Structure 1
């Protein structure tokens, strides 16, 4: 089992750093699946207990100058590792001005992803070595790390500016630990928190809506709206999603299954990220 990759372009180094930083804010531990064409960061083991699910795909050819992988026989050259993404962030922070970053799967008492970072110098080249401990996931357990099967959603709507929404949710969290997100087919999305003393609601209008047939529509108001689809979320899990803006997504879709699940899908030329939050089963708030 072998893995070796190389980043030589500074923009690619920064993009990869943004990805691992985003994942680290969403998951304390995750699986890293390495395949010949794609890297996957996966966290889905807590979904059954009410936790969020993360599925992030990185197109290796758009970032890496070199990417070689050799899995065990019968693995289709896939390697699954369990790791702490924050350790990857610490390694990549040292590479902010690097000339090159080499990543290898090594065995130093325990398996590691070893980062060899070449830094510029006026006299001679300098190198930093970071050994990040990992656990090799047995092939018999790979089925636990499959892409989440998406259910039929009641509404699919484009998110407004993530920075704007995050600022609003940051203020709302001081009122309640839960938030209601709702949307309808006329392009209206609302965020609401409530207590015994106050209810605060923010409206976003004229958003692009994708219907079940994959068509798109825009609406400029919420008058005469049809039935609203909504879900109640843990506000801390919702806030974790906004770290996705670090990868500068070109489009963010919010899919809501009424009172069941909210699924966010962020896309960018080189990456995509899915973040699923199960709804809280509760009375009206």
Structure 2
């Protein structure tokens, strides 16, 4: 089992750093899945017990100038590592002006993801800063727990409003309640609501648009559903705020799917990154 990669392009390094920073804001621990073509950050929470789930997918060729990996075997050419993304984020912060950054899987006192940043130097001798980030190698028998989550059979899919605006609204609502109701319909309308014994507040968004899932055959919303009918989900407002606060991916498309009273499925798409986040409903 081997992994070795190198980033030279500063734009790619900054982009990768933003992705890792986003992941580090969402979870203290996650699984780093390495395949020949992709890099994944996976959080496999149990929706049934109130846990959130995350699936972040990167096309490696758009980030790494060099990328070599050998999985556990020829028929299972993948590597699964449990990692603390905050540790990786801190290491990358020291490499922002680096001439190159190398990452490889090493064996020190324990398995490590070793990051070596070659920093600019006034002399002919280069300076290299090395970080050994402890990881746990996940055995193959547990890999099935970290596969891509299936797209839920949603009732409504809708584009999100500008994320800064949405974050501002959620930040203010958090001071009034621990829970938020998000509702939307197939006419591009979305409402954010909080209701307590003392106050009821609703923010309305109009003409957001609905993603055309049926055009590519990936999924269709029930054709029998009334366009005006709202689907809603009540979620822990802190989990939604954490997602909006932590994101640094700068998505070209941001949307959500609502499974009525069950799941809020948030999707951020960039040309070379996709981030999915599942927040279960609370009663």
State whether TM-score is above 0.5. yes
* Alpha-carbon shift at residue 44 of structure 1 (Å): 1.0
1:164-222 CA-partner distances (Å, limit 9, x unpaired)? 1001100100100000000011111010112111111101111111366349xxxxxxx
- Native 8 Å contact 2:25 2:246 kept in 1: no
What TM-score results when the alignment is normalised by the length of structure 1? 0.92
TM-score normalized by structure 2? 0.93
Task: Tell me if 1:55 matches 2:55.
Answer: yes
Which residue pairs with 2:206 in the alignment?
205
What pairs with 1:85-234 in structure 2 (closer than 5 Å)?
85-123=85-123, 124-210=125-211, 213-214=214-215, 226-234=228-236
SS across alignment from 2:248: helix
Long gaps (5+) in structure 1: 216-223
Q: How many residues align?
A: 273
Per-residue deviation, residues 92-125 of structure 1 (Å, max 9, x unmatched): 0001111100000000010000000000011131
**Alignment CA distance shift 1:73-1:269 (3 Å):** same
For residues 228-271 of structure 1, the C-alpha deviation after alignment (integer angstroms, 9 at most, x for no partner) is: 11000000111122146411100011100110101011100110
Residues 231-246 of structure 1 mapped to structure 2, 5 A cutoff? 231-243=233-245, 245-246=247-248
Q: Which residue of 1 aligns with 2:274?
A: 272
The answer for the alignment partner of 2:257 in structure 1 is: 255
CA contact (8 A) 1:163 1:245 kept: no
Q: Name 2:43's counterpart in structure 1.
A: 43
Q: Distance in 1 between matches of 2:157 and 2:90?
A: 36
Structure 1 residues 45 and 225, CA gap change in structure 2 (3 angstroms): closer
Q: What is residue 221 of structure 1 aligned with on the other side?
A: none
Q: Is the 8 Å Cα contact of residues 52 and 276 (structure 1) preserved in structure 2? A: yes
Is 2:21–2:246's contact at 8 Å kept on the other side of the alignment? Answer: no
Q: CA–CA distance in 2 between the matches of 1:108 and 1:273?
A: 32
Alignment partner of 1:109: what SS? coil
Query: In terms of mean alpha carbon deviation, does 203-212 or 95-104 score higher?
Result: 203-212
Q: Deviations along 1:69-111, whole A, 9 cap, x unmatched? A: 0112244320000011101001100011111000000000100
Q: Structure 1 residue 48: deviation in Å?
A: 3.3
8 Å Cα contact 1:261/1:277 also seen in 2: yes
CA contact (8 A) 1:6 1:67 kept: yes
Unaligned residue ranges in structure 2 (runs of 5+)? 217-225
Q: Flag the 1:214–1:239 CA change in 2: closer, same or farther, 3 A.
A: farther
Q: Distance in 1 between matches of 2:227 and 2:214?
A: 20
TM-align CA RMSD: 1.5
